[in-house]
Structure 1
Amino acid sequence: MTREEREQLLARYTTGELTPLERERLFTEAMNDQELFEHLFEDDALEEALSDPAVRRHIMNTAPAPAPAWPLRWRWPVLAGLAASLVLAVILIQRQLTPSSDRSDEHTSELPSPCLLLSPL
């Protein structure tokens, strides 16, 4: 039996589509190939175990809880950075919107003195 034939029979075995003759041929080949033998009976043991409702319930109850999507240790630094950014943004916007007296003094001192009207000669 070629490797391709074995793979096809094995695939059909796992889906339950083998004829009795093909099943016997696969089991005969499994007696000569240790890897195929282990694969066949590993699948059988798993399928048999999962068919029992008590075993399935036990497996579902002992499954580990899913890990949190966002690690909790990063929550506080991210929130602190966000708060600091918001405070800084408010301060900068407020400084731009409210004219300060210092700025208005600077601008008026830079203005040139008024020109005298010159009379024509």
Structure 2
Amino acid sequence: MTYVVTDNCIKCKYTDCVEVCPVDCFYEGENMLVIHPDECIDCGVCEPECPADAIRPDTEPGTESWVGFNLKWSEAWPNITTKKDPLPEAEAFDGVEGKLEKHFSEKPGEGD
């Protein structure tokens, strides 16, 4: 099992989760985070830290495609290990449907 970041992170990018991760397996895109599934140790401490409820275990129905998505982008984006401010529009975009199709950016974030 691994944990994955889903589309509710897009345009929110809360980083509370990165501070509690004992193995530093989060990677930063311009407007979301992902978890490297091969680095995740399945501890689950990140899941309750996400204010947007965007982190899910890969055993949850509907998360199958997110494992590949997280792997792809974690190999392209820089590692992030310290908390940053969320995106300015985070509250407005929390829970918005269809963010992957409309708002996802392939651009990398700044990392640490």
Same fold by TM-score greater than 0.5: no
More helix per residue: 1
More contact order relative to length (CA 8 Å, sep ≥ 6) = 2
- TM-score normalised by length of structure 1: 0.20
- TM-score normalised by length of structure 2: 0.21
In our comparison, the structure showing a higher alpha carbon Rg is 1
More strand per residue: 2
